[in-house]
């Protein structure tokens, strides 16, 4: 990487690397590498787990009165690809990502790529400096999203968001289906998937049917964001308001 790019990346991340090859790998998409092993995909895998750990620990400490289901809902928002993509774009990390010629001319990278660069950078910081600098970066960048998700009613209203999106953009109404249930009668867990038209989205488990449906709706919203690279209408307005502030 060119020295000016390294300097800009380290300033953006708030961390100075001892091993700059880690930073280079974190900012290299498979389309711009000699092979997938030389890209940021393995770092993305590790960064996803580190992000989960740090966010879960912070939520556990910060919201001692939240039950497991409530913590799960908030965590799902914070670590979602949509949130990671927002962080990447707000930090302008996407402009530092090396991509192949087929993607280089795009005005905005897909949400999946934007999210991946945040996770790969988290892993690079962790491997270079340990958990504390990685935790610091995560909390500094994800903290506002964590607070907002915890204190907003939106994290309980995924079904409503999905219904609005489906009716507006797909001219259809989501249908929820119980795929499986486990546990004794007094403490059952349910697996639910949501379908829109003939398309079924990734399923989710919940401690009751209501929680499972909400988490299934979130999975669908995330999948739609990746497919259309466009969050639901409410979220787009919210992003615009944040940028105006």
Could you read off the pLDDT of 20-77 as tens digits, one per residue? Answer: 999 999 998 766 566 666 678 899 999 999 999 999 999 999 988 888 888 888 898 8
**Residue 106: pLDDT band with limits 50, 70, 90:** low
Residue 12: is its pLDDT beyond 90? yes
Active site residues: 48, 119
| pLDDT at residue 226, as a whole number | 38
Nearest CA to 181 out of 206, 148, 210 is that of 206
pTM over 0.75: no
- Alpha carbon distance 193, 173 (integer Å): 14
Evaluate whether 195 touches 213 at the Cβ level (below 8 Å): no
Would you identify the CATH topology of the domain 157-244? Double Stranded RNA Binding Domain (3.30.160)
CA dihedral (140, 12, 118, 219) positive or negative: positive
Structure tokens at 174: 């989501």
Choose between 242 and 90: higher pLDDT: 90
> What pLDDT score was predicted for residue 228?
39
| pLDDT tier, 14 (very low <50, low <70, confident <90, very high otherwise) | very high
Give tens-digit pLDDT for 131-185. Answer: 999 999 999 999 988 888 887 644 457 888 889 889 888 899 999 999 999 998 8
- Give percent above pLDDT 70 in the chain: 81
Q: Which among 129, 124, 133 is positioned nearest to 25, based on CA atoms?
A: 124
pLDDT band with cut points at 50, 70 and 90 for residue 100: low
Of 245 and 162, the structure prediction assigns the larger pLDDT to 162
Rounded distance between C-alpha atoms, residue 33 and residue 229, angstroms? 24
> What's domain 3-154's superfamily in CATH?
Ribonuclease III domain (1.10.1520.10)
Of 108-112, 126-130, 146-150, give the lowest mean pLDDT range: 108-112
Q: What mean pLDDT is predicted for residues 94-102?
A: 76
Spell out the domain ranges in the chain: 3-154, 157-244
Residues 6+ apart with CB under 8 A from 44: 116, 119, 120, 123
Which tokens belong to 244? Answer: 């105006």
Condensed to tens digits (0 to 9), the pLDDT of residues 210-242 reads: 889 988 998 898 888 634 334 443 344 344 333
Calculate the average pLDDT of the chain.
83
Exposed, middle or buried: residue 33 (CB in 10 Å: 0-12, 13-18, 19+)? middle
């Amino acid at each position: 990487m060119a020295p000016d790019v390294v300097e800009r990346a380290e300033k953006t991340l708030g961390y100075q690397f001892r091993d700059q090859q880690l930073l280079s790998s974190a900012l290299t998409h498979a389309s711009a590498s000699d092979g997938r092993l030389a890209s940021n995909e393995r770092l993305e895998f590790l960064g996803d787990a580190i992000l989960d750990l740090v966010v879960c620990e912070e939520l556990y400490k910060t919201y001692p009165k939240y039950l497991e289901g409530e913590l799960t809902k908030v965590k799902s928002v914070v670590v979602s690809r949509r949130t990671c993509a927002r962080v990447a774009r707000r930090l302008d990390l996407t402009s530092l990502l090396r991509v192949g010629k087929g993607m280089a001319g795009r005005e905005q990278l897909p949400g999946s790529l934007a999210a991946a660069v945040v996770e790969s950078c988290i892993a690079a910081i962790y491997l270079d400096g340990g958990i504390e600098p990685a935790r610091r970066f995560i909390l500094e960048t994800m903290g506002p999203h964590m607070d907002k998700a915890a204190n907003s009613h939106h994290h309980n209203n995924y079904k409503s968001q999905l219904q609005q999106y489906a009716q507006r953009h797909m001219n259809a109404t989501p249908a929820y289906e119980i795929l499986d249930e486990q546990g004794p009668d007094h403490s059952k867990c349910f697996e639910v998937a949501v379908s829109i038209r003939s398309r079924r989205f990734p399923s989710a488990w919940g401690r009751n049917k209501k929680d499972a449906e909400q988490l299934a709706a979130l999975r669908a919203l995330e999948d739609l964001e990746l497919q259309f690279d466009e969050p639901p209408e409410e979220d787009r307005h919210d992003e615009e308001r944040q940028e105006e502030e």
